[in-house]
Chain A
Amino acid sequence: MKIRHLLVSALLTSAPLSAYDAANARAFLAQHCESCHGAKIAYGSLNFNSLTPATLSTETERWTRISSRVRNSEMPPRTVPGPGVALSDRKAFLNWVDEGLHAEACAGGPVAGTSQIRRLNRDEYTATVRELLNIHLDVGHDLPADGAGGQGFDNAAEVLFLSPVLVEKYIDAAKESLEYAVKDSRARARIGIVEPGPGLLPAQAAHNILQGFLPRAFRRPVTEKETEPFMALFREAQKSHQTFDKSVVYMLRGVLLSPQFLFHAETPNPGTSPRLLDDYALASRLSYFLWGSMPDEMLFDLAEAGKLHEPEVLKEEVGLMLRSGKSMHFIESFVTQWLGTRELGRDFIPDPKIFPNYSADADLRGEIRFQPIVFFHSMVANNDPITDLVDSDWTILTRKLAGLYGIDRKNLRKDNQDQPHRVKLPPDSHRGGLLGMSAVLAVSSYPYRTSPVLRGKWVLDSILGTPPLPPPPNVPALEEHVGPAPKTMRERLAQHRKDPVCSSCHSSIDPIGFALENYDALGQWRNEDAGKPVDNSGELPDGTKFQGPEQLKAVLLQQKDLFVRNLTSRMLGYSLGRGLSPKDMCTVDSVIAQLRNNGYKSQVLIEAIVMSQPFQYQAGVPAGAPSSLSLKTKHTVTESR
């Protein structure tokens, strides 16, 4: 339990550490670990007599696991008799491990990192089919939702496996979309369907279609050999006396079910050294990062010209892509998953009895949900600093949002007030940054009341990237309205914290939430809670005191390195479609340095990620490891039959 206190105080304060070296670490292990992981007993085959601190640079994965278990207070176990580990000891040991691992990870500078094969997620699949066929149909509507993995996003390779059920859904989706497309003149033009006729045999016409369609579907040039399995499908359909259109549909279904289409399939790097991605793979990485869909014609042309890797061209292209309307997909996907606001209106709905204004007004619901998305978009479009996400003198409002927030409409633009637009906030509006937004304040509450615990946890996790540990099993629930007089949330939590087991953690979490208590569960401002004035004061374990959201935001901005690291790590993970490893920390550091040198400008964050080593390079196969899976077209034919 104490580790939560430790974690938060360690991360919210930047007190210099006293000199701590391998001898101190050795003593820590001898005192707290070796009784179970030593020469006599070595649970989990872990023996700190052989895994000495000197192995920190060679056994990085094991030390990362050790660090994680100690950090999460899983080790030493609470059941071990004795006084336990002093907070300062644990903190010093963890810092020593982290610094050692960081030094090791950065010994050779930023590295490419692993390049995992991953399936297009549901949104990417839908957008890609839409673009490929030029149809406006939600072809992915029947596909199951993808879970979150990696840095917390649904495009992470770790969770994008292919189940038999999903294959069946893909078969149905491909059939539905292609049968729709061949009846639509625009879609036929996009696919390149030209009917056979005099001088053009059906097989020739089908071959012509494939020559245009296949490179776009596979997002790279294809060889003649690669078209053959699909031509075989066409011939098979023709043998069964199918019409030309039906034969084409049958052939293209094979394409839409092929691994080269369904997966982000980069040509594996067979060498042991990192390799610069080819231009087509880079075009795909860019388009799925910034658009959530396949590359457009310009990206393909730049890749064909071999120019995409040129820094000036790439920067210009990133700017164009961000200014395109298609970048809203990236921003919506990234922001709603990062902040957890994706669930608002779906799994999380504010209580209609308490918040009838929310339940009765569909426009307001949409505007609440879109406020953080449009805010992020505006921030990027104007190249504002990312610290505006913590606090800003502007926000995105509509007429109805202004009403919800009690902001005078004279602050809005004169026309089109129903459309979300950027507004300079009046003094004391309490609406700067994410913490003043209804969507954020709602998803960090219960549907029927606020929760300083949930809000404190949300800030620690989403803003600072230092999530507290999950509560221990059998933790008692918060007492609801017991006794003669209604109690304020602070009073009820104070009662909760009387339990020493709860106190050590909640003393770090709750104060942050208390500072936000002026916002109700829908984010409306209030001065009273249960008939008593709201007490919005908080004090962190290190003694830092604050009162209300403005002072809390000032405290958070004092720790902006944590916030910047968190946002950078999340966006890098999103861009790569995988979780980050300790080896990626050098890249994160490099991006942070570029941000620091450029006033934390938001476009710098995106550009620096695109220019980074892991984004542009493929790691090699470690010597002795099996080579990467190569995707064979043969699988396609079997599946499509």
Chain B
Amino acid sequence: MFRRFTVKAGALLFFAVCALAAENGGVAGFSGIWTGTMTDRNGDPQDLSFRFTQSGNVLKGKMYGDNESLAVTGVKVSGKELSFSVTTELNGQVTTFLYTGIISGNEMEVSRTRLDLKPPEPKQPDTKAGNSASKSNPPQTFRLKRLT
């Protein structure tokens, strides 16, 4: 009788933890292949795909590329929020992008910012410099969908 109760309680606890993890994201919640489409600076659609894998309590990842994958670095998970960086190199020019995402079920709302450009400044209607910085580096937002 006691043993049956223990099994039931254990199962309940397991499901409760799983439900909590799913609700809050957590390292396990982000594992899988994610894909989405972002609009680039020219207004053209650009597909982005990532794979995150859980290794212990750590989340590792990569961003798929046309030619080769790029490493995802600095992964941080806090509840439903995820942030990481991806560094690209094209013709010797190195660029780092910071991604921040909030998971909601099988989708993730993601924001991407180039780190080598000025972040947008608070709106200053009378300051031309402020407008120019804002135009040059607005965060780009898009949605990722879980593929697996």
> Using Cβ atoms and an 8 Å threshold, which residues of chain A touch B68?
134, 190, 297
A449 close to B (CB within 8 Å): no
Docked pose: A316 CA to B144 CA in angstroms: 12
For residue B87, give the distance in angstroms from its CB to the closest CB of chain A: 16
Docked pose: A324 CA to B45 CA in angstroms: 11
Docked pose: A250 CA to B51 CA in angstroms: 35
Given the contacts A134-B68, A307-B148, A320-B35, A298 and B45 also touching, CB distance less than 8 Å: no
**B51 x A301 contact (CB < 8 A):** yes
Docked pose: A321 CA to B69 CA in angstroms: 16
A313 close to B (CB within 8 Å): yes
Docked pose: A134 CA to B49 CA in angstroms: 21
> Using Cβ atoms and an 8 Å threshold, which residues of chain A touch B66?
296, 324-326
Query: Per-residue CB proximity of B19-52 to A under 8 Å, as 1/0?
Result: 0000000000000010100000000010101010
Given the contacts A301-B33, A323-B47, A296 and B147 also touching, CB distance less than 8 Å: no
For residue A109, give the distance in angstroms from its CB to the closest CB of chain B: 30
Within 8 A of B (CB), among A281-334: 296-298, 301-302, 305, 307, 313, 316-317, 320, 323-326
> Using Cβ atoms and an 8 Å threshold, which residues of chain B touch A307?
33, 147-148
Docked pose: A134 CA to B65 CA in angstroms: 13
**B64 x A305 contact (CB < 8 A):** no
Docked pose: A297 CA to B68 CA in angstroms: 8
Given the contacts A302-B33, A324-B47, A313 and B147 also touching, CB distance less than 8 Å: yes
> Using Cβ atoms and an 8 Å threshold, which residues of chain B touch A320?
35, 47, 49
**A316 x B35 contact (CB < 8 A):** yes
Docked pose: A134 CA to B147 CA in angstroms: 27
B124 close to A (CB within 8 Å): no
**A302 x B147 contact (CB < 8 A):** yes
> Using Cβ atoms and an 8 Å threshold, which residues of chain A touch B93?
none
> Using Cβ atoms and an 8 Å threshold, which residues of chain A touch B49?
298, 320
Within 8 A of B (CB), among A67-88: none
Query: Per-residue CB proximity of A183-194 to B under 8 Å, as 1/0?
Result: 000000010000
Docked pose: A324 CA to B67 CA in angstroms: 11
Docked pose: A320 CA to B65 CA in angstroms: 12
Tell me which of A134, A298, A325 contacts B33 (CB under 8 A). Answer: A298
**A134 x B67 contact (CB < 8 A):** yes
**B147 x A316 contact (CB < 8 A):** yes
Docked pose: A134 CA to B33 CA in angstroms: 24
Docked pose: A325 CA to B67 CA in angstroms: 11
> Using Cβ atoms and an 8 Å threshold, which residues of chain B touch A324?
47, 66
> Using Cβ atoms and an 8 Å threshold, which residues of chain B touch A134?
67-68
Docked pose: A302 CA to B34 CA in angstroms: 11
For residue A184, give the distance in angstroms from its CB to the closest CB of chain B: 14
Docked pose: A240 CA to B6 CA in angstroms: 67
Given the contacts A302-B33, A305-B33, A297 and B147 also touching, CB distance less than 8 Å: no
**A323 x B33 contact (CB < 8 A):** no
Docked pose: A269 CA to B31 CA in angstroms: 34
Docked pose: A313 CA to B147 CA in angstroms: 6
> Using Cβ atoms and an 8 Å threshold, which residues of chain B touch A305?
33, 148
Q: Which of B62, B68, B145 is the most central at the interface, judged by chain A CB atoms within 10 Å of its CB?
A: B68
For residue B142, give the distance in angstroms from its CB to the closest CB of chain A: 14
For residue B28, give the distance in angstroms from its CB to the closest CB of chain A: 15
Docked pose: A134 CA to B68 CA in angstroms: 9
Q: Which of A296, A298, A307, A317 is the most central at the interface, judged by chain B CB atoms within 10 Å of its CB?
A: A298
> Using Cβ atoms and an 8 Å threshold, which residues of chain B touch A326?
66
Determine the residue in chain B with the shortest Cβ distance to A131.
B67
For residue B39, give the distance in angstroms from its CB to the closest CB of chain A: 13
Docked pose: A324 CA to B47 CA in angstroms: 8
Docked pose: A619 CA to B31 CA in angstroms: 36
> Using Cβ atoms and an 8 Å threshold, which residues of chain B touch A316?
35, 145, 147
> Using Cβ atoms and an 8 Å threshold, which residues of chain A touch B147?
302, 307, 313, 316-317
Docked pose: A315 CA to B39 CA in angstroms: 21
Q: Which of B35, B49, B147 is the most central at the interface, judged by chain A CB atoms within 10 Å of its CB?
A: B147
Determine the residue in chain B with the shortest Cβ distance to A130.
B67
Determine the residue in chain B with the shortest Cβ distance to A323.
B47
Given the contacts A316-B35, A324-B47, A298 and B148 also touching, CB distance less than 8 Å: no
Docked pose: A454 CA to B49 CA in angstroms: 48
**B35 x A297 contact (CB < 8 A):** no
Docked pose: A325 CA to B65 CA in angstroms: 11
**B148 x A323 contact (CB < 8 A):** no
> Using Cβ atoms and an 8 Å threshold, which residues of chain B touch A325?
66
Docked pose: A301 CA to B31 CA in angstroms: 13
> Using Cβ atoms and an 8 Å threshold, which residues of chain B touch A297?
62, 64, 68-69
> Using Cβ atoms and an 8 Å threshold, which residues of chain A touch B148?
302, 305, 307, 313
Determine the residue in chain B with the shortest Cβ distance to A190.
B68
Docked pose: A307 CA to B51 CA in angstroms: 14
Docked pose: A403 CA to B69 CA in angstroms: 43
Query: Per-residue CB proximity of B51-76 to A under 8 Å, as 1/0?
Result: 10000000000101011110000000
Docked pose: A143 CA to B35 CA in angstroms: 38
Query: Per-residue CB proximity of B91-110 to A under 8 Å, as 1/0?
Result: 00000000000000000000
Docked pose: A190 CA to B65 CA in angstroms: 14
For residue A315, give the distance in angstroms from its CB to the closest CB of chain B: 11
Docked pose: A298 CA to B66 CA in angstroms: 10
For residue A105, give the distance in angstroms from its CB to the closest CB of chain B: 36
Query: Per-residue CB proximity of A399-426 to B under 8 Å, as 1/0?
Result: 0000000000000000000000000000
29 A–B pairs (Cβ distance < 8 Å), ordered by A:
A134-B67, A134-B68, A296-B66, A297-B62, A297-B64, A297-B68, A297-B69, A298-B33, A298-B51, A298-B64, A301-B33, A301-B51, A302-B33, A302-B147, A302-B148, A305-B33, A307-B148, A313-B147, A313-B148, A316-B35, A316-B147, A317-B147, A320-B35, A320-B47, A320-B49, A323-B45, A323-B47, A324-B47, A325-B66
Which 10 interchain pairs have the tightest Cβ spacing? A298-B64, A307-B148, A297-B69, A305-B148, A320-B47, A323-B47, A313-B147, A298-B49, A301-B51, A316-B147
Residue positions of B touching A, CB distance < 8 A: 33, 35, 45, 47, 49, 51, 62, 64, 66-69, 145, 147-148
16 additional A-B residue pairs with CB within 8 Å, beyond A305-B148, A307-B33, A323-B45: A134-B67, A134-B68, A190-B68, A296-B66, A297-B62, A297-B68, A298-B33, A298-B49, A301-B33, A301-B51, A307-B147, A313-B147, A316-B147, A320-B47, A324-B66, A325-B66
